[in-house]
């Protein structure tokens, strides 16, 4: 069975075509600048095809994708595609698991789209485009927030007027749940048990830390939106909201402009003044740049703070996992974080950490907590859920 995993953005559509018999990626790519001028890239068999194309809408992107799958001989017929799985950022507390799309699901998605106004409407455009292009193929939705629905109320509630929760749904929802679930399931296979305490560190341009006990999320660092938690590439993470009024007055900005600054001009970029890219920051750090050193240490400290918090919450930890772009590729960040965790008995093997490529155990045999690097695969999780839903439909 071949399944398409789709991640639609406001002006983009990313895809992976996966052969579920061996869970191998047949092809992947992205259609960009939808509604502007249009461009696409497709990779398969070790080759890359790209060119400009007129993409007025997501429907155009989907139709061109399906056309290219045929013309590039990636599939012989569209009948080979037996399911399409879609990433949806926010499922609120309406969805606690992946579902097959029907009219009722679309109505519910419409009712909660304002909880992620930059993401959910775009995700829905992707769903609608595929339902039109492949009307007889099941579509599913997989939610970034679903894995976190096992948090108890004491954890997800905010200490604000309770009416805000009752009237407006103001609470912690989290994000990156599909990635954290993938890490949880992968660690379960590695440890050969479902009974373990995990601290999963999804550290990319966006970053979140999640505490998992016996396969279920106990707490996570992102909140009502992905702006909360640790500092990130361009996001501030947790700050004192009382700093906003004086900055708004001084800069003559409204709340939307300030929130934009916290989302797009803060974090690693804002503090370093260099870049939001960890590779650029690391280069400056290695050259002794003062702000790069400050930023790198602050970044590691914020990650450490959440790991330590969740260590106490879980009553200890069996394993810490680093994943996503920075977690998988920056041995410097992993080293700084683990150095901060020495008091918990964490000890990593520098050679293993510095030369890690792909899945690896980087802690020593003396470490009281196992430390792993595991590449995440959200697209595969979407495809797995889609396959399971289709089988059980």
- Give catalytic residues, as residue numbers: 144
Considering just the CA atoms, what is the radius of gyration of the chain in Å? 21
CB-based burial, 352-377: b 16+ in 10 Å, e otherwise: bbeebeeebbbbeeebebbbbbbbbb
In whole angstroms, how far apart are CA 58 and each of 43, 50, 82, 119, 316? 20, 18, 20, 14, 47
Residue 280, token pair as written in the block: 């650029």
Q: Give CA–CA dist 57/13, Å, rounded.
A: 11
Contacts of 19 (CB under 8 A, 6+ apart): 1, 2, 25, 26
> For residues 88 and 74, what is the distance between their CA atoms, to the nearest angstrom?
26
**Spatial CA neighbour of 307 closest among 196, 203, 154, 157:** 203
DSSP per residue over 31-43, as a string?
EE-TTTT-EEEEE
Q: Is 322 left (phi over 0), alpha (psi -120 to 50) or beta?
A: beta
Tokens coding 90: 């926010």
| Distance from the Cα of residue 288 to its chain's centroid | 31
Cα 19 from chain centre: 22
Q: What is the DSSP string of 140-188?
A: EEEETTGGGGGS-HHHH--SS-HHHHHHH--S---S-HHHHHHHHHHHH
Residues contacting residue 242 through CB under 8 Å, at least 6 positions apart: none
């Amino acid at each position: 069975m071949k399944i398409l995993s789709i991640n639609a953005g406001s002006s983009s559509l990313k895809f992976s075509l996966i052969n579920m018999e061996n869970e191998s990626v047949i092809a992947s790519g992205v259609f960009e600048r939808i509604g502007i001028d249009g461009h696409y890239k497709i990779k398969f068999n070790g080759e890359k095809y790209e060119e400009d194309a007129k993409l007025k809408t997501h429907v155009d992107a989907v139709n061109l994708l399906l056309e290219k799958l045929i013309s590039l001989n990636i599939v012989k017929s569209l009948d080979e595609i037996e399911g399409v799985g879609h990433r949806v950022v926010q499922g609120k507390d309406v969805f606690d698991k992946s579902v097959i799309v029907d009219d009722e699901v679309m109505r519910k998605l419409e009712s909660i789209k304002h909880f992620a106004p930059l993401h959910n409407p775009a995700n829905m455009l992707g769903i609608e485009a595929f339902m039109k292009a492949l009307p007889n193929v099941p579509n599913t939705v997989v939610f970034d927030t679903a894995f976190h629905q096992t948090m108890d109320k004491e954890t997800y509630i905010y200490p604000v007027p309770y009416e805000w929760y009752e009237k407006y749904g103001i609470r912690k929802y989290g994000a990156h749940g599909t990635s954290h679930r993938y890490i949880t399931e992968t660690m379960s296979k590695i440890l050969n048990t479902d009974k373990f305490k995990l601290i999963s560190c999804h550290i990319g341009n966006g970053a979140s830390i999640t505490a998992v006990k016996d396969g279920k999320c106990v707490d996570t660092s992102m909140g009502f939106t992905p702006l909360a938690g640790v500092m990130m590439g361009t996001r501030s993470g947790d700050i004192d909201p009382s700093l906003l009024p004086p900055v708004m007055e001084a800069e003559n900005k409204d709340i939307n402009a300030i929130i934009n600054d916290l989302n797009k001009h803060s974090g690693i970029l804002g503090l370093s003044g260099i870049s939001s890219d960890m590779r650029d920051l690391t280069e400056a750090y290695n050259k002794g740049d003062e702000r790069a050193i400050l930023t790198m240490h602050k970044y590691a400290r914020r990650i450490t703070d959440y790991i330590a918090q969740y260590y106490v919450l879980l009553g200890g930890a069996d394993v810490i996992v680093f994943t996503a772009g920075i977690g998988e590729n920056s041995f410097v960040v992993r080293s700084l974080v683990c150095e901060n965790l020495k008091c918990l008995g964490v000890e990593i093997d520098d050679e293993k950490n510095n030369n890690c490529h792909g899945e690896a155990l980087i802690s020593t045999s003396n470490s009281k907590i196992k430390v792993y690097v595991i590449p995440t695969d959200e697209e595969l999780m979407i495809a797995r859920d889609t396959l399971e839903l289709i089988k059980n439909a």
